[in-house]
């Protein structure tokens, strides 16, 4: 069959409140044209993030009831540990309340002033946790990643030559090498199995462990199956095992590719590191058989890990994004190509060339999508990155709008509705105007800044 259907049926529904354009205009005004200040009940389709927004399955909800809340030695922990180790065979699996807690524990041990941590591209919490210890986070993604139109199959790959050079010149300062799969900050682009293996080989030759930030490991494995020569007939769980078999540890947010609403873990083969990490875990998160989680959360993750490597799910997941991407391109909306595993990124700077970067074309598009159809997306551009530590404004590298797709939440008609909203925005795009910031905090301004449209 040509039609790829949602490989699930709906048992529990959450009603959507349908707002009118007039209502949304006044909600925008009240929110200072910042979509983070809009209440989610006033959003028709929420594409702000794919993190923690997955729909859990009947099996997951069933397992929630089985959750054992014993302080120590809960069977829920052992089911969680077994599920992780079926895919990622690490000796120690340490549960945390989110991915960033795993990062904080890891870098409080291996970070510190003068240290350098290379990756393809660090996610912002990873970078934040590295820099908070005084260490430096270095991004070494391949050059194609910076070219919006380059249709390279693995734009998340690390540049092996630059990694080798860094390790030769400053190896003494490098505690470990990281890889983020898929590369979230780089548009959800995958890393090839060949690149993962070559990264491990280089790291190990220099005596460094490889730690994978595995938040979207299943989407990455699916891209490997679809795009990497020789991988097309292999089961996804086998590809996942291969990805992690050359690594020495991982950090994970279960809010992504584990279908959970909360959770994460740190895993390692290093006994000494694990002992230190568990000591810190007890201080900051909890006892090692629950970390920062309830037993019921560990159960939901264990089931989610079985479901996320299902090929029918992954085919539907990635195809949905491709479908939306193709339709946007046919409307003349420029997007980052190829589309990522968890999101479609629109190139707002090119879509709205009459709005200069310092008048925030990404914010203008995000506001227009909300006004026209109640869609909430996220500006990733000059609002987010355009102010240096010195307080001076400058254009970010790109002005993108991210349409992040929650897992198993929407149907085909939601996708078609999104396209129709874009059609409406395309029709009026020449009339769209930029915005100016009327108030902003000193850091992370995109969350709380207030705007005013430029008339
Ligand atoms: C979300 C994310 C994290 C952080 O995980 P949280 O659960 O949000 O703390 C780290 N790395 C990547 C690649 C992510 O996408």
Mutate to test the pocket of ligand 1, among 101, 125, 220 (most ligand atoms within 8 A of CB): 125
Mutate to test the pocket of ligand 1, among 213, 215, 219, 292 (most ligand atoms within 8 A of CB): 215
Specify the pLDDT at position 51: 97
Say if ligand 1 is within 6 A of residue 371 CB: no
Q: Please provide residue 34's backbone torsions phi and psi, each rounded to the nearest 5 degrees.
A: -110, 120
Are 44 and 72 within one domain? no
Are 287 and 385 within one domain? no
Cα of 122 vs centre of ligand 1, distance in Å, is 10
Of the residues 307, 340, 366, the one at which a domain ends: 307
Spatial contact of 276 and 265, defined as CB atoms under 8 Å apart: no
Are 232 and 114 within one domain? yes
Say if ligand 1 is within 6 A of residue 261 CB: no
Instruction: Quote the radius of gyration of the chain (alpha carbons, Å).
Output: 22
Mutate to test the pocket of ligand 1, among 132, 178, 256 (most ligand atoms within 8 A of CB): 256
14 in a structural domain = no
Of the residues 283, 307, 331, the one at which a domain ends: 307
| CATH code of residue 74 | 3.40.640.10
327 in a structural domain = yes
Nearest atom, ligand 1, residue 253 CA: 7
As a three-state string, the secondary structure of the chain is CCCCCCCCCCCCCCCCCCCCHHHHHHHHHHCCCCHHHCCHHHCCEECCCCCCCCCCCHHHHHHHHHCCCCCCCCHHHHHHHHHHHHHCCCCEEEEECCHHHHHHHHHHHHCCCCCEEEECCCCHHHHHHHHCCCCEEEECECHHHHCCCCCCCCCCCECHHHHHHHHHHHHHHCCCEEEECCEHHHCCECCCHHHHHHHHHHHHHCCCCEEEECCCHHHHHHHHHHHCCCCCCCCHHHHHHHHHHCCCEEEEECCCCCCCCCCEEEEECCHHHHHHHHHHHHHHCCCCCCCCCCHHHHHHHHHHHHHHCCHHHHHHHHHHHHHHHHHHHHCCCCECCCCCCCEEEEEHHHHCCCCCHHHCHHHHHHHHHHHHHCEECEEECHHHHCECCCCCECCCCCCEEEEECCCCCCCHHHHHHHHHHHHHHHHCHHHCCCEEEEECCCCCHHHCCEEEECC
Which residue, 14, 28, 37, is CA-closest to 369?
28
425 in a structural domain = yes
What's the number of domains the chain is made of? 2
Q: How far is Cα 272 from Cα 102, in angstroms, rounded to an integer?
A: 16
Which residue, 203, 189, 220, is CA-closest to 160?
203
Are 253 and 329 within one domain? no
| CATH code of residue 438 | 3.90.1150.10
Are 211 and 132 within one domain? yes
Are 194 and 208 within one domain? yes
Cα of 183 vs centre of ligand 1, distance in Å, is 11
Closest-CA residue, ligand 1 atom 6, reads 99
167 in a structural domain = yes
Are 107 and 207 within one domain? yes
Cα of 266 vs centre of ligand 1, distance in Å, is 12
Are 296 and 321 within one domain? no
Are 284 and 319 within one domain? no
10 in a structural domain = no
7 in a structural domain = no
Are 326 and 232 within one domain? no
Cα of 264 vs centre of ligand 1, distance in Å, is 9
Are 191 and 338 within one domain? no
Say if ligand 1 is within 6 A of residue 125 CB: yes
Q: How far is Cα 194 from Cα 209, in angstroms, rounded to an integer?
A: 17
Closest-CA residue, ligand 1 atom 4, reads 99
Say if ligand 1 is within 6 A of residue 187 CB: no
Mutate to test the pocket of ligand 1, among 105, 220, 251, 253 (most ligand atoms within 8 A of CB): 253
Q: Where does residue 65 fall: left (phi above 0), alpha (psi -120 to 50 degrees), or beta otherwise?
A: alpha
Say if ligand 1 is within 6 A of residue 215 CB: yes
2 in a structural domain = no
Per-residue pLDDT of the chain (455 residues; tens, 9 = 90+): 889 999 999 999 999 999 999 999 999 999 999 999 999 999 999 999 999 999 999 999 999 999 999 999 999 999 999 999 999 999 999 999 999 999 999 999 999 999 999 999 999 899 999 999 999 999 999 999 999 889 999 999 999 999 999 999 999 999 999 999 999 888 899 999 999 999 999 999 999 999 999 999 999 999 999 999 999 999 999 999 999 999 999 999 999 999 999 999 999 999 999 999 999 999 999 999 999 999 999 999 999 999 999 999 999 999 999 999 999 999 999 999 999 999 999 999 999 999 999 999 999 999 999 999 999 999 999 999 898 778 889 999 899 999 999 999 999 999 999 999 999 999 999 999 999 999 998 888 999 999 999 98
Q: How far is Cα 263 from Cα 95, in angstroms, rounded to an integer?
A: 7
Of the residues 307, 327, 350, the one at which a domain ends: 307
Are 303 and 360 within one domain? no
Domain of residue 155: give its range.
Answer: 58-307
174 in a structural domain = yes
Cα of 387 vs centre of ligand 1, distance in Å, is 23
Specify the pLDDT at position 149: 86
Specify the pLDDT at position 389: 74
Q: C-alpha angle with apex 251: 290 to 388, nearest 5 degrees? A: 120
């Amino acid at each position: 069959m040509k039609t790829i259907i949602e490989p699930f049926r709906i048992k529990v529904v959450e009603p959507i409140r349908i707002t009118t354009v007039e209502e949304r205009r006044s909600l925008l005004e009240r929110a200072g044209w910042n979509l983070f200040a809009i209440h989610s009940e006033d959003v028709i389709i929420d594409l702000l993030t794919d993190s923690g927004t997955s729909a859990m399955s009947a099996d997951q909800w069933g397992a929630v009831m089985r959750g054992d809340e014993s302080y120590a030695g809960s069977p829920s922990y052992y089911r969680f540990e077994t599920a992780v180790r079926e895919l990622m065979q690490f000796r120690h699996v340490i549960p945390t309340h989110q991915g960033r807690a795993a990062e904080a524990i890891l870098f409080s041990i291996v970070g510190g002033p003068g240290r350098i941590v290379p990756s393809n591209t660090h996610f912002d919490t990873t970078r934040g946790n590295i820099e908070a210890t005084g260490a430096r986070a270095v991004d070494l993604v391949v050059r194609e990643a910076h070219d919006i139109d380059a249709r390279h199959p693995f734009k998340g790959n690390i540049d092996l030559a630059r990694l080798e050079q860094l390790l030769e010149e400053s190896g003494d300062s490098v505690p470990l090498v990281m890889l983020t799969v898929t590369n979230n900050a780089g548009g959800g682009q995958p890393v090839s199995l060949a690149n993962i293996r070559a990264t491990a080989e280089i790291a190990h030759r220099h005596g460094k462990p490889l730690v994978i930030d595995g938040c979207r490991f299943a989407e990455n494995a699916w891209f490997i199956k679809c795009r990497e020569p020789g991988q097309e007939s292999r089961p996804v769980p086998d590809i996942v095992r291969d990805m992690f078999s050359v690594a020495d540890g991982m950090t994970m947010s279960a809010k992504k590719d584990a279908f959970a609403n909360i959770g994460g873990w740190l895993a390692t083969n290093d006994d000494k590191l694990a002992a230190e990490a568990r000591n810190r875990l007890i201080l900051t998160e909890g006892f090692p058989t629950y970390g920062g989680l309830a037993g019921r959360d560990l159960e939901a993750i264990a089931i989610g890990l079985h479901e996320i490597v299902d090929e029918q799910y992954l085919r539907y997941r990635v195809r949905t994004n491709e479908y939306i991407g193709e339709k946007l391109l046919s409307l003349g909306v420029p997007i980052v190509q190829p589309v990522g595993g968890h999101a479609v990124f629109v190139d707002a700077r090119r879509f709205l060339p009459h709005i200069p970067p310092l008048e925030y074309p990404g914010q203008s598009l995000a506001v227009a999508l909300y006004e026209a159809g109640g869609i909430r997306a996220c500006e990733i551009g000059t609002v987010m990155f355009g102010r240096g530590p010195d307080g001076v404004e400058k254009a970010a590298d790109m002005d993108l709008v991210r349409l992040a797709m929650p897992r198993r939440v929407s149907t085909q008609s939601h996708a078609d509705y999104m396209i129709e909203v874009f059609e409406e925005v395309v029709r009026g795009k020449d009339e769209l105007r930029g915005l100016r910031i009327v108030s902003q905090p000193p850091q992370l301004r995109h969350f709380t800044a207030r705007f005013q449209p430029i008339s």
